[in-house]
Chain A
C-alpha cells in the first residue's frame, strides 16, 4: 500500500514538471511580460529596464531551472504582476475557490444523488423521466450563460442575492448553484446506472431471498456497492472545481484561484502560473488517490484482490 501511494506521488511530480515546463516554454516564446508589468502606456526606457531587472533577457532554460530550483526549495517566488510572494497570492485566493468548490459540490450531491437513486428505484417511471430530462437539459445549458441569466434575474428583477464578489456567504449562493448544476448530469446518470446494475445483480436477489426489502435492501445491501463509482467521479469533480472554476469565478467576478490563473496567463505572470499548475496537479492527484483509498476501504476486493 505504501509503495502504491509512493508510485502515485512520483507520478504526480512527473506530471507537474512536464506540464509546468510546457507552459513555461509557451509563454517564454510568445509573450512579453515586461510591457504588462510596465503598463500599456509605459515609455520604452521603463519597459527595457524592467526586462533586464526581471531577467527576461536570459535564455529560457536558465530562467526555467532558476524557477524550478527555488521552487524545490519551497520558495515559489514572487509574482511579476502583483509584486508580492506567490504563496501570499495563493493564500489570498484559495479560500474563495475552496468554499465555492465545496459549496457547489454539496449542491451537486444534494440534487444528483436523490434524483439518481429515485430514478434507479423506479426505472421508466415519471421520476426517472424527470431525472433524465433534468440531466439532459442541465448538460445543454452553457455554464456562463446560466450565470448571466441568474445575474439578470437577481441583479435586476429580484435583488435577493448579490451578483458579484465573494464577501459574504450570500455571494456564494448563485455561483455555487451554477457550478453545482454543471456536474449534476454526470453524477446523476452514474448514480442511476450504478444502482440499477447493483439492483439487478445476483447478490441482491440473494438478499431478497433472505427476506430483505424496501429501504433496508437499498441501504444495507445495495448502497455500498453503488457508492464505489460515485466516490471516484465525485473526487474528479471536486478536483476540477478546485482547479479554479474559471468561468463561474469570472462571471461572478470572485477572486478565486481560477481567475488568478487566468489573470496570470493574460499578464504572463509566469511564477504564478507555474505555481498554480503545481498546486492543481497535486490536488487532483491527491483527490483521486483519496478516492481510490476510500473505494479500497469500501470494497475488500480492491483491498486484497
Chain B
C-alpha cells in the first residue's frame, strides 16, 4: 500500500556488519548486509533468534551494547551518512527525533520510576524548544491516537500500572512524539497476547499511513510479516539470504532456508498435515569465519561447493534477490513432497480417536490472596471460577487463552500441586488429592514452556532424566541409566549428552530432555504447558513432530496449553478456550475454530495471523484489553470487551450450555455467529 507513494529510498544500508568480542573469540552478529527501504513502505526483517536481525536494527542508530563494534560502508538516511555521524550528532539530531524505535519488552522498556507523562514529554522537550504544555498536548493527542482511553489521566500513571499492551502503546506514542520519518519496531508484539498483537500491528499500520512514515519491522513471526510488510528480508546467521516483495518471497521462496522456514509453520499448508517440515540442526556458531554458505550444514540440497565457496547473490529483479549456489535446482514443491511423504507415514488423522474420559475437572475454583506494594492490603485474586473439563484417553486437548487467564493455575491444580478451594479433579476415577504424590506422578507428568528454567542447571542431562526413576526407586542404577538412554534415543537426544549440563545444550535439545524426563515413567497424561513458545519456528516444528509421534507410540493423552492458534490448529483434537478463569468455549477443534460460538473465541480466531500475503492485519474488534484479574467485571467477565454485550451480560454471569456439542458460556452464543459475521 505504501507503493503508491514516492518510492525513492529513505534508507540505504551498504555492507553493514556488527562484531561482538567475547572473552574467548569475537561473535560476528551481522556479516556485511545491505538493505534498502523506500519512503513510506514497511520492510520486514525475518529471522530466527541469533540471526542478527535485532543487531541490525540497533546498529542503525548505533545503540549497540558498548562492547559491540559496528562497521559499514554507508548507512545513508535521507542522504546523510550515519556512519560518519558522531554520538553527539546522533543523539541530538537523529535518535528519537527523525528515527523512532520500539522494543520487544514493553515491561522493561519504560523507566519504572518515572510517570508516563514525564517520559513522553521529555522525548519532545529534549530535542525541541517547546513548552511543557505543548509537549503535554502532543502527548495526550498521541495517547488518544494509540487508543488509550482517557489519556489525560494516564500521564500521571506509572508503567507498572499499565498492562503490557498499554505499555507498548505508550512506547509507540513515545516513538512518535517528534514525528520521525522512520520507525524501527523490534519484535513489537512478540511479548504480547494474540488479540493484543493484532491490535498493535493494526495500530502501527494505521499510524504509518497517517504520518506517512517508513517502518522497519523486525520479527521472527512469518505470519506477522506476511500481513504487515511490503518488503521482507530473510536473515540467517547474520546474513540476508533472500529479499523481495513480501508476496513474491512467501509465495515463491527461492532460498532453501526460506522454504524450510515456511514448511515449519503449522497451518502453512492447511491443517490436514500432521507432520511439519522441519529444518534439522541448529544455527551454527557465529564466531569465527564461515567458509561457504552458512546454511550448508542444515541445507537438504547442500552440495560440496556450498561448504567451500561463498554463495553468489542472484538478483531476480529490482530489489528481489537471494543468496544461494542452487546446486541442483529444485522447486519448493519437492521439499514439500518430502514433508508430505513424511506426513503420510503417520497413522490416519488422530482427531477421529475417541476414548473415555481419563481426567475430569469438575467445578474447580481457586482464589489467591495477593499483597500489592509495601503498604498495600491483601486482595483476593480469583484465578479459576468453577472450571469444568474432561480429557479423553488418547486425545489432544488444547487449552487456549491469554496470559493471566488462569491456564497455569489450572494445570497446577490438575497435577495436584495446587489445592483448589472447591471442586475436584479426578484422574482415572480417583480424586487427585487422595492420590499419594508418587502414584499421581506415575500417571501425569508436565512439560514446561521454558526449557532453560525447567532443567536444573546443576544436574547433568542423565541425572535429570533418571531423576523420576531415582525418586520412585525404580530399578537399579544400571537399569535406570539403560532406561534413560532408551528414552533419549526415543526423544532424539544424542546419548553423548548424557553427562553434559543443560547450559551446553541448544533450546531444542533441552526441550527434548524435558520431554524425556516427563515420559520416562510412561505416564498416561502429559500436560504440555506452552512447550514450544520459547523456541524458534524451525525447532518448534521438530518438537511438535516429536510430540505427535510420541503420542502415537506411547499412546499418551495431552493437555496442550498454548496461545498459538496455528499450533492448536495443527495439534489439537479438541479445544478449550479460557478467559479470566473460566472456560468460555470447549468443543471439537474444527467446530470451535471454523465456527466459534463465543465472541471471545471469535475475536481470538480473527486475530490469528496465518501466512497470507496481501491480506492485511485484521482488527479483532475487541474493545480495550485483557482486564486485571484482581478486579473481575461483574456478570459475564467478558462483557466490557464484548461487541454484543447488553444489560443481561453486564448483570448476570452466563452458565455453560451445550450448543451443537460445543460447550459455551455466553448469553449470545446461539446468535453470536451470525451477528459477528456481519
Instruction: Give chain A's interface residues, CB within 8 Å of chain B.
Output: 1, 3-4, 200-203, 205-213, 216, 220-221, 224-225, 292, 296, 298-305
Q: A292-B374, A296-B375 are in contact. Are A213 and B91 (CB under 8 A)?
A: yes
Contacting pair B113 A210 (CB below 8 A): no
B13 within 8 A of A: no
Complex contacts, B105 vs chain A, CB 8 Å: 202
Q: Which residues of A contact B171 (CB under 8 A)?
A: 206
Q: Is B365 an interface residue (CB 8 A)?
A: no
Q: Is the CB of A302 within 8 A of B374?
A: yes
B122 and A220 within 8 A (CB): yes
* Residue in chain B with minimal CB distance to A292: B374
B659 within 8 A of A: no
What are the residues of chain B within 8 A of A208 when measuring CB–CB? 63, 91, 95
Please name 14 pairs of A and B residues whose Cβ atoms are closer than 8 Å in the assembled complex, sorted by A: A1-B374, A200-B65, A203-B109, A205-B63, A206-B103, A208-B63, A211-B123, A211-B126, A221-B111, A300-B112, A300-B160, A301-B160, A302-B373, A305-B372
Q: How far, in whole Å, are A292 and B375 apart by their CA atoms in the complex?
A: 11
How distant is B175 from chain A, measured CB to nearest CB, in Å?
Answer: 8
Q: With A212-B126, A304-B376, A305-B373 given, is the CB distance from A207 to B111 under 8 Å?
A: yes
In the assembled complex, the CB of B187 is this many whole angstroms from the nearest CB of chain A, namely 12
Is B110's CB under 8 angstroms from A203's CB? yes
A205 CB contacts on chain B under 8 angstroms? 63, 103, 109
Q: A209-B101, A213-B91, A220-B122 are in contact. Are A304 and B174 (CB under 8 A)?
A: no
CA distance A261 to B519 in the complex (A): 65
Is residue B108 within 8 Å, beta carbon to beta carbon, of the partner chain? yes
In this complex, the interface size class of chain B, counting residues with CB under 8 Å from chain A, is 35 or more
Other-chain residue from B61, B100, B113 in contact with A300 (beta carbon distance below 8 A): B113
CB distance from B538 to the nearest CB of A (A): 27
- Is A211's CB under 8 angstroms from B374's CB? no
CB contacts (< 8 Å) of A298 on chain B: these are: 113
Q: Give the nearest-CB partner of B99 in chain A.
A: A209
Q: Add 19 more A-B contacts to A208-B95, A209-B63 (CB < 8 A).
A: A1-B374, A203-B109, A203-B111, A205-B103, A206-B101, A206-B110, A209-B100, A211-B96, A212-B126, A221-B111, A225-B113, A292-B374, A301-B160, A302-B373, A303-B374, A303-B375, A304-B373, A305-B373, A305-B374
CB of B301 closer than 8 Å to a CB of A: no
CB-nearest residue of chain A to B371: A305
Which residues between 99 and 149 of chain B lie within 8 Å of chain A, taking CB atoms?
100-101, 103, 105, 108-114, 122-123, 126-127
**A205 CA to B184 CA, complexed, in Å:** 14
Per the bound structure, the CA–CA distance linking A216 and B95 in Å amounts to 15
Complex: A203 Cα to B113 Cα, angstroms: 11
Instruction: List the B residue with the shortest CB-CB distance to A220.
Output: B122
Q: Which residue of A lies closest to B184 (CB)?
A: A209
Chain B residues with CB below 8 A from A216, complex form:
126
Determine which of B61, B92, B110, B376 lies in contact with A209 in the assembled complex, contact meaning CB atoms within 8 Å: B61
B97 and A300 contact, CB distance less than 8 A: no
* A37 vs B526: C-alpha distance when bound (angstroms): 77
Q: Judging by beta carbons under 8 Å apart, are B158 and A300 in contact? A: yes
Contact with A along B157-169 (1 / 0, CB 8 A): 0101100000000
Expressed in whole angstroms, the minimum distance between the Cβ of B55 and any Cβ of chain A is 13
Question: Could you tell me if A212 and B373 are in contact, using CB atoms closer than 8 angstroms?
Answer: no
Is B371's CB under 8 angstroms from A210's CB? no
Report Cα–Cα, A232/B91, bound state, in Å.
Answer: 34
Give the complex CA separation of A1 and B376 in angstroms. Answer: 7
A201 close to B108 (CB less than 8 A): yes
Indicate whether B88 reaches chain A with its CB closer than 8 angstroms.
Answer: yes
Q: Mark B562-601, 1 if CB is under 8 A from A, else 0.
A: 0000000000000000000000000000000000000000
* B residues in contact with A211, CB < 8 Å: 91-92, 94-97, 123, 126-127
Question: How many angstroms between the C-alpha atoms of A1 and B374 in the bound complex?
Answer: 8
B493 CB to nearest A CB, Å: 34
Tell me the chain B residues, 610-649 only, with Cβ under 8 Å from chain A: none
CA distance A200 to B64 in the complex (A): 11
Nearest-neighbor residue (CB-CB) of B100 within chain A: A209
Contact with A4, one of B109, B372, B375 (Cβ below 8 angstroms): B375
A82 to B347, CA, bound (A): 96
B87 beta carbon closer than 8 Å to chain A: yes
Residues of chain A lying within 8 A (CB to CB) of residue B94: 211
Within the assembled complex, what's the spacing in Å between the Cα atoms of A120 and B13? 33
Chain A residue nearest to B65 (CB atoms) is A200
Considering only CB atoms, which chain B residue lies closest to A304 in the complex? B373
Closest B residue by C-beta to A205: B63
Contact B95 A209 (CB under 8 A): yes
- Bound-complex Cα distance A206 to B110 (A): 7
On whether the beta carbons of A206 and B375 are closer than 8 Å, the reply is no
Assembled-state Cα–Cα distance A209/B92 (Å)? 11
Within 8 Å by CB of A299, from B63, B112, B127, B174, lies: B112
Measured in the bound complex, the distance between the Cα atoms of B375 and A298 in whole Å is 14
- How many angstroms from the CA of A296 to the CA of B158 in the assembled complex? 13
Collect the chain B residues with CB atoms within 8 Å of residue A292's CB. 374
In the complex, are the beta carbons of B372 and A212 less than 8 A apart? Answer: no
In the complex the two chains form, is B112's CB within 8 Å of A203's CB? yes
For the complex formed, measure the closest distance between the CB of A224 and the CB atoms of chain B, giving whole angstroms.
Answer: 5
A241 to chain B, nearest CB (A): 26
Chain A nearest CB: distance from B89 CB in Å? 11
Instruction: Determine if B112 and A301 form an interchain contact, defined as CB atoms under 8 angstroms apart.
Output: yes
CB distance from B180 to the nearest CB of A (A): 11
- With both beta carbons as reference points, the residue of chain A lying nearest to B124 in the complex is identified as A210
Q: Which residues of A contact B92 (CB under 8 A)?
A: 211
Decide if B96 touches A209 in the complex (CB within 8 Å). yes
For B92, B96, B113, B372, the residue with the greatest tally of chain A CB atoms inside 10 Å of its CB is B113
Beta-carbon nearest neighbor of A206 in chain B: B109
Asked whether, in the complex, the Cβ of B96 is within 8 Å of the Cβ of A4, the reply is: no
A222 nearest CB neighbor, chain B only:
B111
- Assess whether A202 is in contact with B122, with CB atoms less than 8 Å apart: no
**Residue in chain B with minimal CB distance to A201:** B108
From the candidates A200, A212, A300, A305, name the one contacting B376 in the complex (CB within 8 A).
A305
Q: How distant is the Cα of A299 from the Cα of B112 in the complex, in angstroms? A: 7
Which residues of A lie under 8 Å from residue B87 when comparing CB positions?
Answer: 213
Tell me, in angstroms, the Cα distance from A206 to B375 when the chains sit together.
Answer: 30
Q: CA–CA, A305 to B92, complex, Å?
A: 35
What CA separation (Å) do A298 and B158 show in the bound complex? 12
Give every chain B residue within 8 A of A200 (Cβ-Cβ): 65
Which residue in chain B gives the minimum CB-CB distance to A207?
B111
| B residues in contact with A202, CB < 8 Å | 103, 105, 108-109
Nearest opposing residue in chain B for A224, CB measure: B113
Complex Cα spacing A160 to B225, Å:
75
Distance in angstroms between the alpha carbons of A207 and B96 in the assembled complex: 9
Which of chain B's residues have a CB closer than 8 A to the CB of A225?
111-113
Query: How far, in angstroms, from A211 to B127 measured CA to CA in the complex?
Result: 8
Q: Chain B residues near A201 (CB, 8 Å)?
A: 108
Q: In the complex, what residues of A have CB within 8 A of residue B63's CB?
A: 205, 208-209
User: Across chains A and B, which 6 residue pairs bring their CB atoms closest together, nearest first?
Assistant: A305-B373, A305-B372, A1-B375, A210-B96, A211-B96, A202-B108
Contact residues in B for A220 (Cβ distance below 8 Å): 122
